[in-house]
Structure 1
């Protein structure tokens, strides 16, 4: 069995904040939206239906965990969940906190404007707070 390898674009665009039974929970480096990316640590999987039935259940559970924690931490108006994968084929699930006054509300975040980096201290504090929320 081949070792799991994270797609280089996901590695460049996000930071690992927690690893669970199935997924690597990653924080998008774009601070315009509180945005987690869940990457199932399985080799050569591009679609949810390619996961085993047990992994599908785990992905649902871990997506709910991420969504609930993100809503609790941010107080978002809406939590968007998507597994699109047209550019990065490796299976990953976006969990994004949206607010009525955020950039491009109510439109999609995909391809809107230019990514903005977190200030180090704000990023580190957000990661700490998310880890606590995900672990409780």
Structure 2
């Protein structure tokens, strides 16, 4: 079976582009820059189920996301999370957190207002992130 993005992830995100291993998505919620990496592997639920080389590739891609978020937005804290209780497909959240965000200092899950950014804000943020990812990671592709 080939890789397919879970319908809930499709509904909740916009595509930024693709790393060699992961699809890079931007969460639609307007809490701040919230990138989700989804390994393009069918039926994958846990990171440790990937071969070690793919786990290392994930770390390189994750580092690129976090370095980009740090450089572009200067967050107070960077959050990393992989819950998967509602959406079993492995997806790892990379969230730039600020003392001014609605959920601070708690977790974003269940603590936001559910507001989405405008289409213009989304496109601007997608372009900004894609450019930063391409600058740091030569094999990043914009769809």
Task: Tell me the TM-score normalized by structure 2.
Answer: 0.91
Contact 2:31 2:112 in 1 (8 A): no
In 2, distance between residues paired with 1:118 and 1:100?
A: 19
Displacement of 1:78: 0.8
Q: Distance in 2 between matches of 1:113 and 1:126?
A: 19
Deviation of 1:32 after TM superposition, in Å, equals 1.4
Cα deviation 1:58-94 (Å, max 9, x = unaligned): 1111111111111111111111011111111100100
Question: What is aligned with 1:118?
Answer: 117
Cα deviation for residue 33 of structure 1 reads 2.1
The equivalent residue for 2:78 is 79
Kindly indicate whether structure 1 or structure 2 has the higher relative contact order, using CA contacts under 8 Å at least 6 residues apart: 2
Matched, 1:109 2:108: yes
Q: Name the counterpart of 2:63.
A: 64
List runs of 5+ in structure 1 lacking aligned partners. none
TM-score, normalised with respect to structure 1: 0.96
Q: CA RMSD in A?
A: 0.9
2:38 paired residue number: 39
Q: Secondary structure at the match of 2:129?
A: helix
**What residue number does 2:25 align with?**
26
Unaligned runs of 5+ in 2: 136-143
Are the counterparts in 1 of residues 26 and 34 from structure 2 also a CA contact under 8 Å?
A: yes
Contact 2:75 2:96 (8 Å CA) reproduced: yes
